């Protein structure tokens, strides 16, 4: 305290305070100890004022910094519907019990040669898995589509490679990529040689990208009925590693997949209620083949058995 303030306190304030204290102490029920306690409480209230200030700063920090972060995390978790459908358990619990006739005498896929639309019509909507050998090897996609083609295409047309909030699914399986940007920013030697295995699937639901890609392959393919219903997006699956674990697809139509590059091993199993009368089996799809599976009733998983061999497929639906 400065000398001037000290003087004011000693000569003006202290006598007044003493007067007040003396007046208060005239009340027999109030003691000096009570006055001391009251003084201590007044100091505590100073502390609580500080607490209020700190709390207010904390709340402002929470609103300005923490809320956007929490929001971002929630948006990301919602994006995980792309990796693990968050209503998968509900779907599984509520799906209709299968009629096991679909799998009862099936021991493997029906393997057909390439055929015309008319020739394939009797098989087109069969629940039996089908491989049509060497049916898509003439597609331009077989020659042109690869990792770098897709990287350039997405860099050109996709507004935001960081986005995980649009309706395009991104399935990262066991790879450490969370969004398309991660996929397209991996080191070239990993992308081209699988030095560290990776495998992803993603839908090309952006119209410009879909239109560009569909210039490289026909939808529907030449063996499917011309009037079959087709979806508004297709899927690309590519990489070097194990793909999806066994699962059912909760999609509205049948599935076809074109093996553009490499090979893929499929494992199919009946739904659990049919496991006593139907068999699980494994088969191999080679480059140039198309595979058709009703993935809504066949549990299916995929893997690429040949180490460091790149697999690239286009998948879509029909029905």
132 class by beta-carbon count within 10 Å (0-12 exposed, 13-18 middle, 19+ buried) = buried
Specify the residue, 184 or 237, whose C-beta has the smaller distance to Fe ion: 237
CA distances from 16 to 35, 151, 157, 261 (A): 15, 83, 81, 96
- Nearest to Fe ion of 72, 91 (CB atom): 91
- 31 to 70, contacts with Fe ion by CB under 5 A? none
Is residue 249 a contact residue for Fe ion (CB under 5 A)? yes
> In angstroms, how far apart are the furthest CA atoms of the chain?
115
CB 301, min distance to Fe ion, A: 8
* CB closer to Fe ion out of 287 and 295: 295
CB of residue 143 vs Fe ion: minimum separation in angstroms? Answer: 27
* Minimum CB–partner distance for residue 300 and Fe ion (Å): 6
Nearer residue to Fe ion within complex by CB, 95 or 156: 95
Question: What is the DSSP code string of 11-72?
Answer: IIIHHHHHHHHHHHHTSTT--HHHHHHHHHHHHHHHHHHHHHHHHHHHHHHIIIIIHHHHHH
Provide, rounded to whole angstroms, the least separation between the CB of residue 268 and Fe ion. 11
The phi-psi region of residue 129 (left if phi > 0; otherwise alpha if psi is between -120 and 50; otherwise beta) is: beta
Question: Interface residues for Fe ion in 281-300 (CB under 5 A)?
Answer: 295
Residue nearest to Fe ion according to CB distances in the complex: 249
> How far apart are the C-alpha atoms of 143 and 238, rounded to whole Å?
15
For Fe ion, the closer CB: 158 or 239: 239
Least spacing, CB of residue 315 vs Fe ion, in Å: 8
Taking CB under 5 A as the criterion, which residues in 120-159 touch Fe ion? none
Number of residues that bind Fe ion (CB under 5 A): 2
Structure tokens at 60: 């402002």
Sites of contact with Fe ion (CB under 5 A): 249, 295
């Amino acid at each position: 305290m400065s000398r001037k303030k000290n003087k004011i306190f000693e000569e003006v304030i202290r006598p007044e305070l003493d007067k007040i204290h003396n007046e208060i102490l005239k009340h027999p029920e109030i003691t000096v100890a009570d006055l001391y306690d009251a003084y201590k409480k007044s100091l505590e209230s100073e502390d609580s004022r500080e607490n209020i200030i700190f709390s207010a700063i904390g709340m402002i920090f929470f609103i300005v910094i923490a809320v956007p972060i929490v929001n971002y995390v929630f948006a990301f978790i919602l994006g995980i519907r792309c990796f693990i459908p968050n209503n998968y358990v509900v779907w599984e619990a509520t799906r209709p019990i299968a009629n096991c006739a679909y799998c009862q005498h099936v021991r493997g896929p029906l393997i057909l040669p390439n055929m015309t639309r008319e020739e394939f019509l009797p098989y087109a909507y069969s629940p039996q898995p089908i491989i049509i050998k060497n049916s898509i090897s003439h597609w331009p996609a077989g020659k042109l589509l690869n990792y770098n083609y897709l990287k350039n295409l997405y860099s050109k047309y996709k507004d935001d490679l960081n986005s995980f909030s649009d309706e395009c699914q991104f399935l990262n399986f066991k790879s450490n990529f969370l969004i398309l940007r991660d996929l397209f920013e991996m080191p070239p030697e990993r992308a081209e040689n699988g030095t560290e295995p990776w495998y992803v699937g993603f839908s090309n639901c952006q119209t410009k990208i879909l239109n560009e890609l569909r210039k490289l392959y026909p939808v529907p393919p030449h063996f499917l009925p011309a009037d079959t219903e087709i979806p508004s997006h297709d899927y690309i699956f590519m990489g070097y590693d194990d793909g999806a674990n066994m699962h059912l697809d909760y999609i509205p139509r049948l599935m076809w997949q074109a093996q553009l590059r490499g090979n893929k091993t499929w494992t199919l199993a009946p739904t659990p209620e049919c496991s006593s009368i139907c068999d699980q089996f494994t088969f191999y799809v080679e480059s140039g083949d198309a595979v058709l599976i009703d993935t809504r009733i066949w549990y299916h998983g995929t893997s690429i058995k040949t180490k460091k061999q790149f697999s690239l497929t286009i998948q879509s639906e029909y029905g």
